[in-house]
Amino acid sequence: MYLWASLVFPFRFSSNDLMNAILRSLAPAHFQFGIIMGYFFGKHLVTGNKKYRTLSLWVPVLIHTCCNTLVQVPYVRCV
């Protein structure tokens, strides 16, 4: 599944978005975000602490947002 997505993803965009597509397809970050989410959710299941359940959602969301922002910075156009 991940290999197919990495191979097909760059061809779904126009030439303006080609660099963005290449950067995103070469780093399967969603797999890493799932590992981070599973780590915190596992800690929640073991300890019963609701703080870890909240962290299992928000830590991957914040890291994903930072990664997307860093990838998009050169392509931000002011209106």
Which domain, by its residues, includes 23?
2-75
Average pLDDT, the chain: 77
Q: Which residue has the higher pLDDT, 73 or 10?
A: 73
What's the domain count of the chain?
Answer: 1
**Residue 79 predicted with pLDDT over 70:** no
pLDDT tens track for 17-49: 666 666 665 667 777 888 899 999 999 999 999
Q: What is the pTM of this model?
A: 0.58
pLDDT of residue 55: 96
User: If we measure between CA atoms, which residue out of 5, 66, 11, 59 comes closest to residue 33?
Assistant: 59
**Residue 14 predicted with pLDDT over 70:** no
3-class SS of residue 43: helix
pLDDT of residue 2: 55
pLDDT of residue 21: 62
